[in-house]
Amino acid sequence: MKITRSYCQVFYKYCRELLVWFVNLALIALSGFWALPILLLLRFFGLNKRIRFGTFFSTRIGHFCWEAGLEYANKQIIKSRELSFYWIPRNTANSFLRQIVGRNFTVYPCVYYIDKWNRLLPAFMRSGIVDSTYSIPYLDVHGVMQIAEPMKFSATENEQAIAWMRQFGWEVNKPFVTLIARDSYYLDTSPLHRSKRESCFGCYDYHSYRNTDIQTYRDAAEWLASQGVLVFRMGNAPENKLITSNINIIDYGFRDDKSDFLDIWLFANTSLCITTGTGPDGISFQYKRPMLFINFLPFGEFPLSGDFTVAPKKLKWAASSQPLTCTEYLQNSYTKTRHYDEAGICIEDLSPTEILNVTKECWANLTSTRRLAGPDQSDILRQKFSEAFPTLKDRYINKLARISPIYLELFPNFI
């Protein structure tokens, strides 16, 4: 009986998806009656002003905020004659991010159909029309996001967030910290990421090398709380609670009053974002907040254009137990867990004590009247990354981007 019911559920799901596909195909076909004439007219209009149609990768909050943020910055810095029109799906990783992007870009649902037909047109019929990419590079190699202004919150939105924060005793201009440690639970369980082939728990274990245990951050969080700092443990759907009795540590990811709006506002206004390097921290990047990357991998994807400190996971050669050097980290910046295994590399998280000491040093430096970037670290980072990635040798590197001094004390041969 259970087997029959299971087969019926699978069949029903398949039929529903097939129906949605046919309806969508029919709508695209019918839209050709008005979309094609528009495109043909724009072909001539576009000879003087190029026009783009496209969207953002909006089912992952990291891609969504990075792509939209970088595009918004480029609009301010690069005085282009292009006109850009976007469509954004109804279901996105964050509804408020969709709302704020809609306020700052020219977004219309009908652009979806124009974009689809534009991609079907032969190349000679797209003269003057530029295809908008679906994935803008995930690196701010020219540092435009550090120069441009981010998308703004309204006065009403700021007042709403401040009123919510005051229940924890927070006042305007008082520091607070956001903390997020990556696990796979959200991707494994979110309907946005469960395709036909990836419909079971554990589909994203190829990224397991990036996961870390939130409990190893407890000492650091409690130390920050002892300094009078509110700490918000973030996450849309964290796997485990952060076990602590400190009232200044708020496990926001498990609160009933969390919202898509507060997700964005907290990351955008934090005094320091402590992260392992995962999607939502892109909001802090976009709003030019200081960031501390702990247990970050792959090291080659460390963003260098902001006020960022990094303390990566410990990588050791399995055969000799020798730690990898900075150059070897860059040469082995794999994006899948099995690739580290195949290369004979063991991955080890920083210990709670190491995380605590890295956090203490970063916070002391951040609150100091004289900010330190470390001994010639911008030049060292530029040299190491240029050697590993020759095509990015001219990339922008912020003078405050650095490897944690405590990390370098633990591993003196790293550089």
pLDDT in the model for residue 20? 76
Q: How far apart are CA 159 and CA 372, in angstroms?
A: 34
- In Å, what is the CA distance from 343 to each residue of 21, 48, 320, 411? 42, 52, 13, 21
Could you read off the pLDDT of 213-244 as tens digits, one per residue? 999 999 999 999 999 999 999 988 777 899 99
pLDDT in the model for residue 201? 42
Instruction: Show Cβ contacts of residue 246 under 8 Å, excluding neighbours closer than 6 positions.
Output: 221, 222, 225
Q: How far apart are CA 303 and CA 293, in angstroms?
A: 10
In which residue are the tokens 């001219």 written?
394
* 185 pLDDT above the threshold of 70: no
What sections of 272-404 are H helices per DSSP?
282-286, 326-331, 337-342, 352-367, 377-388
Give the DSSP H or E segment for 131: strand 129-131
Mean pLDDT of 165-187: 87
Q: How far apart are CA 323 and CA 120, in angstroms?
A: 51
* pLDDT confidence tier of residue 24, bands split at 50, 70 and 90: confident
Residue that wins the pLDDT comparison between 400 and 359: 359
Mean pLDDT of 320-339: 91
* 387 pLDDT above the threshold of 50: yes
- In Å, what is the CA distance from 60 to each residue of 97, 189, 371? 11, 13, 34
**Could you please report the per-residue DSSP string of 343-356?**
TTEEEEPPPHHHHH
* pLDDT confidence tier of residue 132, bands split at 50, 70 and 90: low
Q: What sign for the dihedral angle of Cα 334, 217, 184, 259?
A: negative
Residue that wins the pLDDT comparison between 64 and 135: 64
Q: How far apart are CA 57 and CA 349, in angstroms?
A: 30
* 43 pLDDT above the threshold of 90: no
Residue that wins the pLDDT comparison between 5 and 67: 67
Q: How far apart are CA 101 and CA 269, in angstroms?
A: 18
* 161 pLDDT above the threshold of 80: yes
pLDDT in the model for residue 198? 44
Q: What is the CA radius of gyration of the chain?
A: 23
Could you read off the pLDDT of 267-299 as tens digits, one per residue? 999 999 999 988 899 999 999 999 999 999 999
Domains of the chain: 2-131 (no CATH), 147-410 (3.40.50.2000)
pLDDT in the model for residue 382? 72
Burial class (CB within 10 angstroms; exposed 0-12, middle 13-18, buried 19+) of 115: buried
Mean pLDDT of the chain: 84
* 134 pLDDT above the threshold of 80: no
Span of 19-28, 139-148, 376-385 with lowest mean pLDDT = 376-385
* pLDDT confidence tier of residue 51, bands split at 50, 70 and 90: confident
* 203 pLDDT above the threshold of 90: no
Classify residue 295 as left (phi > 0), alpha (psi -120 to 50) or beta: left
* Inter-residue contact 34 to 120 (CB < 8 Å): no
pLDDT in the model for residue 23? 80
Could you read off the pLDDT of 353-384 as tens digits, one per residue? 999 999 999 999 998 866 665 555 667 777 78
Q: What percent of the chain has pLDDT over 70?
A: 82
In which residue are the tokens 């890295």 written?
358
